[in-house]
Structure 1
């Protein structure tokens, strides 16, 4: 039922002071930490009953359906509303994880059980990720999306720093069953917070009653066509995909092999990756406080070029300390670039397409990028670390060409404060409703 708690004349609250946004952020954090613990527990549980190849198989069993069904999850979020989908999918993840925890507690771990659980979790995750990503424009005014994306990036970094140690601690005291139980508890705690959200109505929530509904496939094709034709979203989506494909392999496989060649070892790898994450966290905090960057489209593309170059430069640093410093700079630049890109896409998208747009953004990171890791390893084996770092950085930087080729992207701005001229879609209506 619509609520009149927020009158039209009330000044908008900054995202970091908005209770509605903070509830979503807390629920999202709990889910992210639960995700991290789930991955730790699943991997170690598989190790107890199988060899290294089977551990990889169990983890891939969840990644494959998630990647294959991600775009379909966006269709579901747009058709039924992201609020309902995110609650249902998070509750389902809780049930799946607690069910596996109970099974491991009562019986000897079996490989088939872990594979089945990973597949189910991956299927549900394909629904959860587009839905939770499509919520921010429904939580507050559009001029706060930049702040929300900064906060989102910050909690992602914090969650993936805190989650694995918490999972390891639970494993040490109670084994995989205890760790999975902890993950399930975190999912359970996030559900009531999601249910308490007040979502703003948006224009596309009211669909014409005289038009025939599209099939799910038709909605998927329509969403992809919308992305391709949009003057801002299409180029930014291509740019982001090129950036992720060019740099993510360098920051994982590439860094592992670089540290081995340079004699820096696992500890050096940890320092470099930690510095990159710290840079992203600092940048996320800055974006969360500032909220809006002038000429965001142009700044995003400049950051993409410089950030890509800094990632490539890590391989040419003569000492570990220099590599750590360059990685910190890379995290700052890439974090700002990524946050601005997501904010621009979400504030430019029509509300009825947000789920499909979010699912397309997520697909590259969770589906396509991991598939490129073996290619990076093979390329480094054939040509060496530094040439591959150069090629990956150049490929990532070329993503800026896709962005700068669009005049709409070059001129794109994040929405101004209410009362000023907005660039992009109109602000959401002030009416609110419980999920």
Structure 2
């Protein structure tokens, strides 16, 4: 009589100590990010130069746009954990150094711009690597749940980080807030160092073994250089039946969504006389909806017909974007924003999970860098265009066009059979 071995069921991501360590490190880092950006803004404002303040706040986006794809190459070459640990350590040292400088002397625009540029360059390495880590720490069937947990951590960090930064600035000025951010970056390091990395299929090495998940390829004459790696990664994304269409969806939906929901909400609140308090309620509505979608994924774990659901939620969210400019009251605007957050938040989490499950492990850092480039580097460049368009034509037409662009992304996704039929692993 033969006995068939039965595999133990997968441990849910929220009960996995390895995922918990990663989530703790990610949350600490995201709270540190929120405090850092608030402290940097206040330090820039205290220089007394409005132009200099704008320059400081915009400086970090330049290296992100220029270096993000290179960060993906580095994550694939060295392994994402090494890059995340190195970049978080660099961020801690950089921010703590700025805190010490501000404690000893008054800030200057030149110093703050230099720090913003360096921080943006490190961020360009950190963001693709942290996005490529989940498949290394958990089975494929838990990736959707991890994206839900990540979304909850990001929303929680925004809610906690801003008040903490404000209290720190009020108590001890930007120097104290920057010191708190640096400590949070440093606190993530022991958690990251304790992560257990799962072996993933890698290039076959001499002797028939495969390279580990967090192992850099051996140096041989056949090893391509970094530029060849980058071109190869972009070619891989373009030719992939799921990833190529998925990048189109991400680019168009982000382009139609980010401007109206960030800059557009400020201008809409001013036009309607809702003020800063009304703006706060609308942002809170969006955050609650996005947190709800993250919680849904964290609890449920897997959404059937993920590709189709992702595209449809983009289409549904686009209707909410168009409606935001038409609602007559703060309460209705907050409820509409919650609806947009729920739908777009779910679409975004499913996009991330599909990227991580569809991509070959050898290309995951580069694939993540392409999707991250839209969100963190290129799309913010649309803010001046959004502001100018609202000044010329008003919020209604601009929100309608933005909703149409977002909806085009969802419709484009449905037009690609491979993406429409894409599933998350069980």
| Residue aligned with 1:198, SS | coil
Cα shift at 1:312: 1.3
Counterparts of 2:222 and 2:144, CA distance in 1: 36
Query: Which of 395, 399, 403 is matched with 1:389 structurally?
Result: 399
Tell me if structure 1 keeps the 8 A contact 2:53–2:109.
no
Question: Which of residues 237, 241, 257 is equivalent to 1:231?
Answer: 241
- In 1: Cα distance, 2:391 partner to 2:244 partner: 35
Counterpart of 1:336 (choices 323, 346, 352) is: 346
d(CA) in 2 for partners of 1:207, 1:135? 23
Where does residue 83 of structure 1 map in the other structure? 81
Q: CA deviation at 1:297?
A: 0.7
Q: Secondary structure at the match of 2:334?
A: helix
Spell out, residue by residue over 1:185-232, the C-alpha distance to the aligned partner (whole angstroms, 9 max, x if none).
Answer: 000100010000001011126556677111111111111111111111
Could you say which residue in structure 2 is the equivalent of 1:433?
Answer: none
The answer to whether the 8 Å contact 2:243/2:359 transfers is yes
- 2:29 counterpart of 1:31: yes
**Counterpart Cα distance in 1 of 2:64 and 2:308:** 33
Instruction: Spell out, residue by residue over 1:63-83, the C-alpha distance to the aligned partner (whole angstroms, 9 max, x if none).
Output: 211221000000000001001
- For residues 13-412 of structure 1, the aligned pairs below 5 Å read 13-204=11-202, 206=204, 212-412=222-422
SS at match of 2:60: helix
Separation in 2 of the partners of 1:360 and 1:221?
12
| Unmatched segments (≥5 aa) in structure 2 | 207-217
- Runs of 4+ off more than 6 Å: 208-211
1:104/1:325 CA distance change after superposition, 3 Å: same
Unaligned stretches of 5+ residues in structure 1:
1-6, 417-435
- On the 8 A contact 1:50/1:111 being kept in 2, the answer is no
Aligned alpha-carbon RMSD (Å): 1.4
User: CA offset at residue 254 of structure 1?
Assistant: 1.4
In the alignment, is the contact (CA less than 8 A) between 1:78 and 1:353 conserved in 2?
yes
Q: Measure the CA separation in 1 of the matches of 2:324 and 2:96.
A: 42
- Whether the aligned pair in 1 keeps the contact of 2:306 and 2:350 (CA below 8 Å) is yes
- Closer/same/farther in 2, CA of residues 216 and 321 from structure 1, 3 Å limit: same
Following TM superposition, by how much is the alpha carbon of 1:8 offset from its aligned partner in structure 2, in angstroms?
9.2
C-alpha deviation, 1:402, in angstroms: 2.2
Query: 1:50 Cα shift?
Result: 3.2
TM-score by length of 1: 0.92
Q: Distance in 2 between matches of 1:324 and 1:108?
A: 40
Give, in whole Å, the separation in 2 of the partners of 1:8 and 1:77.
Answer: 36
Per-residue deviation, 1:9: 3.8
